[in-house]
Chains A and B, each alone.
Chain A
Amino acid sequence: MDVVAIIISKTILFSIPLMLGALAGMFSERSGVINIALEGIMIFGSLFAAIFITKAMVDTPLAENHPQFVVFLTAIIAGLAGLIFSLLLAYAAIRLKANQVITGTALNIFAPSFAILVAYAVITLGVSDIPIPNLIKFSASDFGLDPTQIPNWVNTLLFKNLYLTTFIAFFAVAIAFVVLYKTKFGLRLRACGEHPQAADSVGIKVLRMRYIGVAISGFLAGIAGFSYSMANGGVHQADVQGFGFLALAVMIFGNWKPLKILFAALFFSFFKTIAVVGSTLPGFPDFGLQHVEYLYRVLPYIITLVVLAFTSKSSRAPKAEGIPYDPGTR
């Protein structure tokens, strides 16, 4: 029972940054801007969240009394940092009509190096890791439960890896679904990603909608970066280990749709968890290999590829993504 609890709880933990990152990518691409810079934006969000919570919040009365409010504030800071950073992409891609892949790549190269430089400046030369204090975790007692009273596996399942960002992520999926499919704004956003000329002809301000799309994207990706620090064991490392790119893959896997992204993130994360946890458990074959965990780590990627091959027929990217909008082409 404990094993299952560990696997489920870790699956959810790993899926959070992927889910938020993929939603971030979705908002940008649905508006017509390819956001390959998710990786960089996540690092940026993670960096400022870590600095904010360790430098401004630790040991304050606020953190003692309302730790989850502090986590909420930090998530907002992470989101705003991501938003501001993503405006660099928005300005170049929308206003200046620059190549979106080039701009995104520039941001991806900038962010990890900048994070290390800032960590050197803020912490000390040679140290790029910023540990995040323990206050951010939920425990059973936060919900009025006594940890000794509930079974061990329940405690593991529910509270071992529970953070505020877990709720934020699932909430974000729901909101994204409603915004995208049930509001006027969502319809307009999708129109700008599918056929901006048509959208423009009915009076939608395409460029403005794209700015908003990228801004939402930056905000969510910033929070995704903060949540990655938690999945990473509570430390900011000036790097998100390719989670930004994986989030991009999850977005494509999820077919640019919020609910499918939810399942795609859980699916991918499940196999990743198996890869990390599996080889340490009894009963998993080692095929007579040394360090068989690396074999298990290959699996999530191969399985995703196979599944993609079977589901590719229904896959459809927003039609106008990656093409700068030029009113002259209407």
Chain B
Amino acid sequence: MMAKSRKELSEGTLNIISSIISILGGLLIGFLILILLEITKSESTISTPFTVMRNFLTYPLQDSGKFIKVFYNAAPLILCGLAVGFAFKAGLFNIGATGQYTLGAFFALVAAILWQFPWWAAMLVGMVVGAFWGFIPGFFKAVFNINEVITTIMLNWAALNLANLLLYNMPKLRIIPPYNRVDKLIARNPSALLPDLGLKELLGTDFFNIGIIIAIVLAVVMFIVLNKTTFGYEVKACGFNKNASTYAGIKAKRTIIMTMVISGALAGIAGGVSFLAGTIQFNIESNLLAMGFNGIPVALLANSHPLGIIASGLFIGYMQVGGQAFEGVYSSEMTNVILSVIIYFSAFALIVSQVIKNIQKKNRLKRGESDEDGSESVSVPETDDSESEDSPEGANAKTMEVSK
């Protein structure tokens, strides 16, 4: 089949359709859980779930402050999503984004407060530290062939405790009462605050800064790197088949290390964007920070596509702001329940698109067009990369299986 037949849905359209189906499914199941929770209450009013659900969906649109908070939430989410997604592209599961994020954030603050760096330099420090924390699992994977899942889990907890230890032993970071957290940036070094382009006062909210612009720019850069450069091609080749790519002359070890370094750097920048906004203060934590983990659903929802990650980051940011509508009645945890169901359904996305494809094929056969696809069982390609779209559909069903 040289050209795609008329009116056939492209791979990208299919992905978007299945994402929408997943989202609707998640909202529906979340709604059912709300109804169940309402029934278990001693005095239940059946209208409550309806009101709360409508409130959840429209909450961020209620005023400009809440709407801006969507972007404020989305910026680190997108960056963490890029960190996780980039590693996914090389077939690596960077579950350690939270450790890289934590140390990146901490050292960005150290640079900002102790060394009085401006915001961009402080963020670069965070990036370098995050990159180093990503380098370690990459090195262990490449040299010792140790599963990156185990190393990044270990390094998450190491990072958290290291940050706590350093925070306790750097009293100059906290000279303003109550002395138990890093001081507010505005008091110690206002030049380290992320620029707001003069819009903070205009919009009347502390939550506006250029973080979202940084995130979008980096997403576009990652899109270009992945699709237009040799390095990006090597990363994806390693993700498809490490052995085959080595055979083809790609230095798989170097690629793995570089991928993890970049992934860690992105998570480190995310830490900088979160904490250089000046809205939250770094504190002693006993549990891993959730932000790094939230990068995983962001990447998964977008199937690791850099531009898709912008959309999914904004979507999850929107849901997080909307989640405040659950507070008091149920719990803002409801957001995560809905999110998890969406991700669960999105795991079926490939199945859904496969079903649609089969229906299209049947229709084509009915119309009497010849079927040149060869075998009936087309194996499902892992991702929606450009190569898999480019590959001619006939004749190479077998090679696509190999690419797994």
Interfacial residues, chain A to chain B (CB-CB below 8 A): 36, 88, 92, 96-99, 101-103, 105-110, 112-114, 116-117, 120-122, 125, 239, 241-242, 245-246, 248-249, 252-253, 289-292, 294-295, 297-298, 301-302, 304-305, 308-309, 312, 315, 317, 323, 326, 328-329
Across-interface contacts of A315 in B (CB, < 8 A)? 145-147
Distance in Å: Cβ of B161 to nearest Cβ of chain A: 4
User: Would A117 and B334 count as touching, CB distance under 8 A?
Assistant: yes
Across-interface contacts of A292 in B (CB, < 8 A)? 165
Q: A114 vs B162: C-alpha distance in the bound complex, in angstroms?
A: 31
Distance in Å: Cβ of B316 to nearest Cβ of chain A: 11
Task: Please name the residue on chain A nearest to B26 by beta carbon.
Answer: A106
What mask results when residues 375 to 404 of chain B are scored 1 for a CB within 8 Å of chain A, else 0?
001011000000000000000000001001
**B260 interface residue (CB < 8 Å to A):** no
User: Would A298 and B165 count as touching, CB distance under 8 A?
Assistant: yes
User: Would B155 and A248 count as touching, CB distance under 8 A?
Assistant: no
User: Would B336 and A120 count as touching, CB distance under 8 A?
Assistant: no
Q: A108 vs B337: C-alpha distance in the bound complex, in angstroms?
A: 10
Which residues of chain B (143-179) have a CB below 8 Å from chain A? 144-147, 149-151, 153-158, 161-162, 164-165, 168-169
Distance in Å: Cβ of A142 to nearest Cβ of chain B: 34
**B233 interface residue (CB < 8 Å to A):** no
User: Would B297 and A117 count as touching, CB distance under 8 A?
Assistant: no
* Number of A-B residue pairs having CB atoms within 8 Å of each other in the complex: 153
User: Looking at chain B, what size class is its interface with the partner chain?
Assistant: 35 or more
**B340 interface residue (CB < 8 Å to A):** yes
Distance in Å: Cβ of B380 to nearest Cβ of chain A: 8
Stretch at the interface among B113-121, B240-248, B347-355, B359-367: B347-355
Q: A302 vs B165: C-alpha distance in the bound complex, in angstroms?
A: 15
**B346 interface residue (CB < 8 Å to A):** yes
Enumerate 23 A-B pairs (CB-CB under 8 Å) in ascending A order. Answer: A92-B347, A96-B347, A98-B350, A103-B344, A107-B344, A109-B297, A109-B336, A109-B340, A110-B337, A112-B333, A117-B37, A121-B40, A242-B156, A246-B153, A252-B150, A290-B168, A290-B169, A298-B157, A298-B165, A302-B158, A305-B151, A308-B151, A329-B379
Known: A92-B348, A294-B164, A298-B161. A120 touches B330 (CB 8 A): yes
- 6 further contact pairs, Cβ within 8 A, besides A113-B337, A291-B165: A96-B347, A102-B344, A105-B296, A113-B333, A301-B155, A309-B140
Across-interface contacts of A302 in B (CB, < 8 A)? 154, 158
**B45 interface residue (CB < 8 Å to A):** no
Which residues of chain B (1-50) have a CB below 8 Å from chain A? 33, 37, 40-41
Q: A117 vs B370: C-alpha distance in the bound complex, in angstroms?
A: 55
User: Would B351 and A304 count as touching, CB distance under 8 A?
Assistant: no
Q: Of A106, A113, A249, which is within 8 A of B344 by CB? A: A106
User: Would B150 and A98 count as touching, CB distance under 8 A?
Assistant: no
User: Which applies to chain B's interface (DSSP): helix, strand, loop or mixed?
Assistant: helix
User: Would A291 and B164 count as touching, CB distance under 8 A?
Assistant: yes
Known: A98-B351, A106-B343, A312-B146. A114 touches B337 (CB 8 A): yes
**B270 interface residue (CB < 8 Å to A):** no
Q: Of A106, A295, A309, which is within 8 A of B165 by CB? A: A295
Distance in Å: Cβ of B109 to nearest Cβ of chain A: 17
Across-interface contacts of A252 in B (CB, < 8 A)? 147, 149-150
Across-interface contacts of B346 in A (CB, < 8 A)? 102
Known: A98-B348, A106-B344, A107-B344. A241 touches B153 (CB 8 A): no
User: Would B153 and A102 count as touching, CB distance under 8 A?
Assistant: no
User: Would A102 and B300 count as touching, CB distance under 8 A?
Assistant: yes
User: Would A291 and B168 count as touching, CB distance under 8 A?
Assistant: yes
Across-interface contacts of B41 in A (CB, < 8 A)? 121
User: Would A101 and B340 count as touching, CB distance under 8 A?
Assistant: no
Q: A88 vs B344: C-alpha distance in the bound complex, in angstroms?
A: 9
Q: A245 vs B287: C-alpha distance in the bound complex, in angstroms?
A: 13
**B331 interface residue (CB < 8 Å to A):** yes
Across-interface contacts of B40 in A (CB, < 8 A)? 121-122
Distance in Å: Cβ of A190 to nearest Cβ of chain B: 19
User: Would A308 and B331 count as touching, CB distance under 8 A?
Assistant: no
Across-interface contacts of B145 in A (CB, < 8 A)? 312, 315
Across-interface contacts of B348 in A (CB, < 8 A)? 92, 96, 98
**B282 interface residue (CB < 8 Å to A):** no
User: Would B158 and A103 count as touching, CB distance under 8 A?
Assistant: no
